[in-house]
Structures are given as C-alpha cells and as structure tokens.
Amino acid sequence: MSEPLSDLELIKRIAEGEKRALETLYNRHSDRTFKFLLRLTANRPAAEDLTHDVFLEVWNSAKRFEGRSSVATWVLSSQDIRLLMPDGSKERSPSTICPRAPNPPPKQRQCG
C-alpha cells in the first residue's frame, strides 16, 4: 500500500491537470474550508457555493503556487475568501455574499 501524497505533491499534480489530485485535495481540505466560510458568511448555502468556488480557483491557479505557505493556508487565502474579509479593503464582486446576511433562498442571494 502506498503512502498518501503530500499536499505539495497534489498541487503539483493539479497544476499538470490531474483531476484525481484535486479530488483528493478537496476531500482533505473542503470540510475546514467550508467551516471557515460558514463562520464568515453565517449562510450555509453560500458557504457551500464558495467552498466549491475556492477549489475551482485551486484548479485554475495551482501552477502559481509558490510554496511560501502551506497548501492549506494557500487554499484559505483564495480570492473568493479574501473578498469576504471584514476589513472592507477589498472590492467586492456582485456575486460575493455579504457576511452575516440573513439566509436568503439559494439563487436569490443579495447583499443588503
């Protein structure tokens, strides 16, 4: 039986287009990412959507991973997550969910 791949090795494989590596990384880090996003948004459907968005960003940007932080930290520093940070210094896109907004029905999320 082989040893599990490290996060760094998974990122390298994702950068090469290996979908199973993304699946493994997702299974390893999606729960923590979701819980973090749920604390930021207080909105379960939004946190679920954003978790998927974060891992789509991982797929699209794995080639740019420089190894200056752990993979877990890099995942949690995704652009989608940075847009939610309460410091207000980042411009929010129209698709971004406002933190602490009431739970609107899915597909009708609005900041307000």
Q: Rounded mean pLDDT of the chain?
A: 80
Torsion of CA 39, 103, 90, 68, to 10 degrees: 40
Contact 61, 54 (CB under 8 A): no
Length of the chain: 112
What single-letter amino acid sits at 75?
Answer: V
- pLDDT above 70: percentage of residues in the chain: 72
Per residue in 5-40, pLDDT tens?
999 999 999 999 999 999 999 999 999 999 999 998
Answer whether residue 100 shows pLDDT above 80.
no
User: pLDDT grade, residue 88 (50/70/90)?
Assistant: very low
Say whether pLDDT at 96 is over 70: no
Q: Which of 12, 20, 7 is nearest to 76 (CA)?
A: 7
DSSP assignment string, 26-85: HHHHHHHHHHHHHHHH--HHHHHHHHHHHHHHHHHHGGG--SSS-HHHHHHT-HHHHTT-
For each of the domains in the chain, give its residue range(s) and CATH number, in order of start: 7-82 (1.10.1740.10)
Q: 86: helix, coil or strand?
A: coil
